[in-house]
Amino acid sequence: MASSRDDFIIAIRSAFLKKSTKQKFSLLTLLSISIFVIVLSSLDLKVIKYLKVGINEIVYRSSFIVSIPENLIKNAFIQTTEYTTFFNRYKKNIIELENLKSNYVSNEIIQFENKELKELINDYALSSDKILAKIIVDHDSPFLKSIIINKGSKDKIKIGTNIYDQSYLVGRVIEVNYKTSRVLLLSDLNSNVPVTIAPQNIQAIVTGSGSDYGQIKYIQSGLSDTLVDDSIVYTSGTGAIFKSGVPIGKLQSFIGGSINEYKVEFYSDFTQLKYVFAEVITKTEIIKPEEKIAENNDETNNPLNVKLKILEDELKIIEETNRKFQEENEILKNEINDLNFKVSNLNNQISSQKKTINQFDIDNQELDFLKLNLKHGHKCRRTFLNTDGFIVGTLEYKSCVLSKGANDG
């Protein structure tokens, strides 16, 4: 204990020795004030208590006043953050709502288009077949590019029928006879084909030039600059004259005046054609389920059909009745056979019983005879003394014995 106190004194002394005069005075002042406060706090005086309460109240009020700006800033920051989050969610919801509205409108448009398409096809299904045709006349002139094929109306060829060289479009039928048809080639000056140029997906019209190529016309201004060589040209199907998606040729550029122009080199060489294919389209009516029901109802309401239905039902009833009668006859036959068998067994039993009864009667007669024979046998037996008797065992002897017994009765 003494050593620790000495160490404390030495530490204080060394601290004072290392400090300057001002520092030493300040340190002594703080130390004195601390000792004074400690002494006052240990004293149980009302003044000291009131002083403590006042100091605590001042400190609390001061800390509350100081915390007001901090709380205001903190609340403002939290509200700003919440508002920003709410605003971002609001914008996100607005975007999602717009997307939903767009999807809904798109669905409505698609449903409306589907309805219109169903009405346009008028409940008919289209199917196509390609038939081979031979070129019998080739009109090759500067003004007329056409061919005549050996297929006509008897082969279901119609005006507008598309003609192909394998998979490539050649032209269309413009005149039909019973066994022949005239085909206008794509190279004819009067030929106009709506096309799509890929891959730019540009819509245009290809017209015949009277030569082995077609001319590109009616392209929207500004789009011709995007055309490139070797672009594929195929039918667009606009106007429903030609089937869509059929290739006819490819683009090639050439110098036309001061700018580049494009022409279409046809895939097919029209001068070398010998055989072509004609696409015959047949239209089949689609029968709706409700129409089938209506037809069935019409057939049902027809008086002749009603009578026929009644006769068919009666025939079914008669057939069912005959079948049941046959089944009952078979059952009766089986029962009759069983009864005959039982009757036969009974007859056999009766015969056997009759035989037994007859045998029993015979045995009784024999017994009666034996009894009477013991009593009257000497009267009916032939002996030296009775020559009128009968030999034992004969019928006369037996009759004699029985008659004697009858006389006794």
Check whether 148 has a pLDDT greater than 80: yes
Check whether 185 has a pLDDT greater than 60: yes
Compute the Cα dihedral for 153, 156, 160, 162 and give only its sign: negative
> Residue 374 and residue 304: Cα distance in Å, rounded?
103
Residue 338 within any structural domain of the chain? no
Q: Count CB-CB contacts under 10 A for residue 183.
A: 25
More confident residue, 352 or 139: 352
Percent of the chain with pLDDT over 90: 16
Residue 130 within any structural domain of the chain? yes
Q: Categorize the per-residue pLDDT at 408 as very low, low, confident or very high, splitting at 50, 70 and 90.
A: low
More confident residue, 408 or 330: 330
Residue 204 within any structural domain of the chain? yes
Residue 163: predicted pLDDT: 93
Among candidate residues 173, 149, 144, the one with its CA nearest the CA of residue 161: 173
- Report yes or no: 172 and 183 within 8 Å, Cβ to Cβ: yes
Label residue 184 exposed, middle or buried (CB < 10 Å: 0-12, 13-18, 19+): buried
Q: What are phi and psi of 161, to 5 degrees?
A: -60, 130
> 151-161 as b/e, with b when 16 or more CB fall inside 10 Å?
bbeebebeeeb
Q: Categorize the per-residue pLDDT at 295 as very low, low, confident or very high, splitting at 50, 70 and 90.
A: low
**Hey, is 164 helix, strand or coil?**
strand
> Residue 181 and residue 164: Cα distance in Å, rounded?
14
The DSSP code sequence of 257-279 is TTEEEEEEEESS-GGG-SEEEEE
> Residue 341 and residue 337: Cα distance in Å, rounded?
6
Residue 72: predicted pLDDT: 74
Q: Count CB-CB contacts under 10 A for residue 145.
A: 26
Q: Residue 266 is part of a domain; what is its CATH number?
A: 2.40.10.340
116-130, 211-225, 251-265, 390-404 — which one is most confidently predicted on average? Answer: 211-225
Quickly tell me which residue has 């800033």 as its tokens. 73
How big is the chain by its Cα radius of gyration, in Å?
67
Q: Which residues pair with 135 in a beta bridge?
A: 149
Q: Count CB-CB contacts under 10 A for residue 27.
A: 14
**For range 187-200, the mean pLDDT:** 89
**Token pair of 17 as six digits:** 């020795």
Residue 9 within any structural domain of the chain? no
Torsion angle, alpha carbons of 214, 134, 141, 218, to 10:
-20
> Residue 229 and residue 220: Cα distance in Å, rounded?
18
**For range 40-51, the mean pLDDT:** 65
**Hey, is 87 helix, strand or coil?**
helix
**Token pair of 158 as six digits:** 């119609």
**Token pair of 154 as six digits:** 């008897």
Q: What is the pLDDT of residues 324-338, one digit of tens each?
A: 778 888 888 888 888
Residue 104 within any structural domain of the chain? no
Residue 186 within any structural domain of the chain? yes
How many domains would you assign to the chain? 1
Residue 267 within any structural domain of the chain? yes
> Residue 375 and residue 396: Cα distance in Å, rounded?
17
For residue 207, the enclosing domain spans: 124-285
Q: What is the pLDDT of residues 202-250, one digit of tens each?
A: 899 999 988 888 988 888 777 877 888 888 999 988 887 888 889 999 9
Q: Count CB-CB contacts under 10 A for residue 192.
A: 17
The whole-chain average pLDDT of the chain stands at: 77
